[in-house]
Amino acid sequence: MTYQAVAANAKGKTSASDLLTGTVAAPTVSLTQPLTGATLGDTPVLEATVLPVRTDTEVTFERRVSGGDWETVGTDTSAPAWTVRDDASGFAPGTEVQYRAVATSGGTTVTSSIIPAVAGAAAQPAAVSVPGSFNAAAGCSQDWQPDCDAVQMTLDEDAALWVLTVELSAGSYEYKIAIDGAWTENYGDAGVRDGANITLALAEDSTVTFTYDHATHLVEASVTP
């Protein structure tokens, strides 16, 4: 790419600078989920970031099992967060599954580093909470408080699900899932790490039960008026 500055004075005389040539850097793609060595669960979320962000970027996620051939898991075009879900339910626990992301952006194709993970039931965190705009109403000192006792979930070990029930007034709310009482690891809409806030609209005062699955990072809100 070549640039040149051209200046004109009041009399219409112009002068031009020397030409300056630069090279546009190739895009980079990084696989942000799963984490290295993570236990996958049945339907792990695969997520990638691409820099610079371009709306025409397409990311294809691939996997290989125990050193086999690379297989396509899925393709996403939804910048700026590219995600798909894999079906890892058929792999024997302990099987190594490797993932990579292949991004095509501006006519250039680049590949991420390989991330190894392990098939099997996802390990449960020490704590899960539901920080959101309703936290103060639920008894916390402020909203969006992941370490508040009033919004800590309880693990149903038999179902491998985390559950929290709260009483809320009619209104519109937003929330996320936070792991271990902090924002370091959090999940938003569609189970995406650091994703958008999840919305909840209540037409009347209701009992709301949140149910979170750490294998998929998805949360459901069941409402009883």
DSSP conformation letters of 139-174: T-SSSS-TT-GGGB-EEETTTTEEEEEEEE-SEEEE
**Residue 189: strand, helix, or coil:** helix
First CA to last CA distance, the chain: 62
For residue 172, is pLDDT > 90?
yes
Give the least confident one: 90-99, 117-126, 197-206: 117-126
* Predicted pLDDT at 95: 95
The pLDDT of residue 29 is 96
Confidence of residue 203 (pLDDT cuts 50, 70, 90): very high
Q: Are residues 134 and 216 in the same domain?
A: yes
In a domain, 3, yes or no: no
**Looking at residues 134-148, what average pLDDT do you find?**
97
Mark which of 88, 118, 148 sits at the end of a domain. 118
Looking at the fold, whether 97 and 184 belong to one and the same domain comes out as no
pLDDT score, position 42: 87
Candidate from 16-30, 58-72, 180-194, 204-218 with smallest mean pLDDT: 16-30
Q: Are residues 208 and 159 in the same domain?
A: yes
Same domain, 49 and 95: yes
66-70 contacts: CB < 8 A, separation 24 or more? 66/95, 66/96, 70/100
Q: Which residues pair with 207 in a beta bridge?
A: 167, 224
pLDDT of residue 6: 79
As a whole number, the mean pLDDT across the chain is 92
Residue 117 has pLDDT above 70, yes or no: yes
**pLDDT confidence of residue 14:** 82
Are residues 34 and 113 located together in one domain of the fold? yes
In this predicted structure, what is the pLDDT of residue 80? 85
Q: Does residue 104 share a domain with residue 34?
A: yes
In the DSSP assignment, the letter for residue 36 is T
**Number of domains making up the chain:** 2
The whole-angstrom separation of Cα 223 and Cα 64 is: 41
**Residue 4 scores a pLDDT above 90:** no
- Indicate the helix (H) or strand (E) that contains 51: strand 45-51
For residues 55-71, average pLDDT: 95
> In this model, does residue 17 exceed pLDDT 90?
no
Domain region containing 92? 28-118
DSSP assignment, residue 193? B
Q: Binning pLDDT at 50, 70 and 90, where does residue 131 land?
A: very high
Residue 171 vs residue 19, higher pLDDT: 171
